[in-house]
């Protein structure tokens, strides 16, 4: 089993005719993801990916014609909020926004709107989702993971890849990998994902990859202590980051003594999480 995406996922790609959109749509299609439509205003009526995917001018028309149950967004940052609104208004239940650099004020409005609509957003500024052997939605390489029973949730893209590959090297696979993104305001949180993994009968253990900045990991630790019955393993990036300097993600900044790696590691360990010093150690920790 899996969470969020599987063989039944019917995916719409917003921005499919752009360079990034077309490249990654092809990768997703080759992996086996069912891409039912693409959207680029002004390109309606065209077919892309060797004539396999129709392009529509709007998400509304595409949704009416092809009944997608997920959308992935590859559009420039200044258009991303409108793209998310458009997907939500078409009643698509799962929206994945890969784009980085989406303004925080835009995301504040988007988050409020999605909460009213009941749609789930993953991202922005995230690598997306991968259920090995079933579907990939986003930019996570499909060849670095095999099907298994370890759920992975991460704020970092590249560290996600490292952990997935380390698991595969040890013969262990992932049920689903969820890249939630590193922006200060995003759609799906650590807690949201932990709750889904806790309820998934095919996920036996969970890996949480965090980083400096904010208090999401501390909140996740509190949730783990009070609600998780499955073992959780962790890694926190940014131990050597200087205060006040942004490291990578927009949300990865230590300010006012809050959000340090030490605080997050302490909170997770207090909640019973085994925290690795290096991401490639996690596979050995799970294997025992």
Q: How far apart are CA 278 and CA 288, in angstroms?
A: 16
What is the structure's pLDDT at 240?
64
Convert 79-118 into a string of H (helix), E (strand) and C (coil). Answer: HHHHHHHHHHHCCCCEEEECCCCCCHHHHHHHHHHHHHHC
Q: How far is CA 165 from the centre of its chain?
A: 17
Using DSSP, state whether 188 is helix, strand or coil: coil
Contact 208, 150 (CB under 8 A): no
Per-residue pLDDT of the chain (288 residues; tens, 9 = 90+): 589 999 999 999 999 999 999 999 999 999 999 999 999 999 999 999 999 999 999 999 999 999 999 999 999 999 999 999 999 999 999 999 999 999 999 999 999 999 999 999 999 999 999 999 999 999 999 999 999 999 999 998 899 999 999 999 999 999 999 999 999 999 999 999 999 999 999 999 999 999 998 899 999 999 999 999 999 999 999 876 565 555 555 555 555 555 899 999 999 999 999 999 999 999 999 998
What's this model's pTM, rounded to 2 decimal places?
0.94
**Residue 168 phi, psi (nearest 5):** -60, -40
All domains in the chain, ordered by first residue: 10-122 (3.40.50.720), 140-287 (3.40.50.261)
**Residue 4 phi, psi (nearest 5):** 70, -50
CA distances from 285 to 19, 207, 231, 273, 280 (A): 40, 11, 11, 11, 10
Q: Which residues contact 144 (CB under 8 A, 6 or more apart)?
A: 161, 164, 165, 168
Convert 124-167 into a string of H (helix), E (strand) and C (coil). Answer: CCCCEEEECCCEEEECCCHHHCCEEEEEEEECCHHHHHHHHHHH
Q: How far apart are CA 214 and CA 222, in angstroms?
A: 15
What is the structure's pLDDT at 257?
52
Number of neighbouring beta carbons within 10 Å of residue 10: 17
Give long-range contacts, CB 8 A cutoff, 24+ apart: 25-31: 25/49, 25/53, 25/74, 27/136, 27/139, 27/142, 28/72, 28/135, 28/136, 28/137, 28/138, 29/53, 31/135, 31/136, 31/142
Instruction: Please say if 24 is a catalytic residue.
Output: no
Q: How far apart are CA 123 and CA 180, in angstroms?
A: 5
Number of neighbouring beta carbons within 10 Å of residue 110: 25
From the list 24, 136, 249, 264, the catalytic residue is 249
């Amino acid at each position: 089993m899996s969470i969020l995406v599987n063989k039944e996922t019917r995916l719409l790609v917003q921005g499919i005719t752009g360079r990034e959109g077309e490249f990654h749509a092809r990768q997703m299609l080759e992996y086996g993801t069912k891409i039912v439509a693409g959207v680029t205003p002004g390109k309606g009526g065209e077919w892309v990916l060797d004539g396999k995917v129709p392009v529509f001018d709007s998400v509304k028309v595409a949704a009416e014609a092809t009944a997608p149950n997920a959308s992935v967004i590859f559009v420039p940052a200044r258009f991303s909020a409108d793209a998310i609104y458009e997907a939500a208004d078409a009643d698509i239940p799962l929206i994945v926004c890969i784009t980085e650099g989406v303004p925080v004020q835009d995301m504040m409005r988007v988050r409020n709107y999605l909460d009213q609509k009941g749609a789930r957003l993953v991202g922005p500024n995230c690598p997306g989702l991968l259920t090995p052997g079933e579907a990939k939605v986003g930019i996570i390489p499909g060849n670095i993971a095999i099907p298994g029973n370890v759920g992975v949730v991460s704020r970092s893209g590249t560290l996600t890849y490292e952990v997935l590959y380390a698991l595969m090297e040890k013969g262990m696979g992932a049920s689903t990998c969820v890249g939630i993104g590193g922006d200060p305001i995003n759609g799906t949180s650590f807690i949201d994902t932990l709750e889904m993994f806790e309820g998934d009968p095919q996920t036996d253990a969970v890996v949480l990859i965090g980083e400096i900045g904010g208090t999401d990991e501390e909140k996740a630790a509190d949730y783990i202590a009070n609600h998780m019955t499955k073992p959780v393993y962790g890694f926190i990036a940014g131990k050597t980051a200087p205060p006040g300097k942004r490291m990578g993600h927009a949300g990865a900044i230590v300010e006012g003594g809050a959000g340090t790696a030490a605080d997050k590691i302490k909170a997770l360990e207090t909640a019973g999480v085994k925290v690795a010093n290096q991401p490639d150690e996690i596979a050995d920790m799970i294997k025992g």
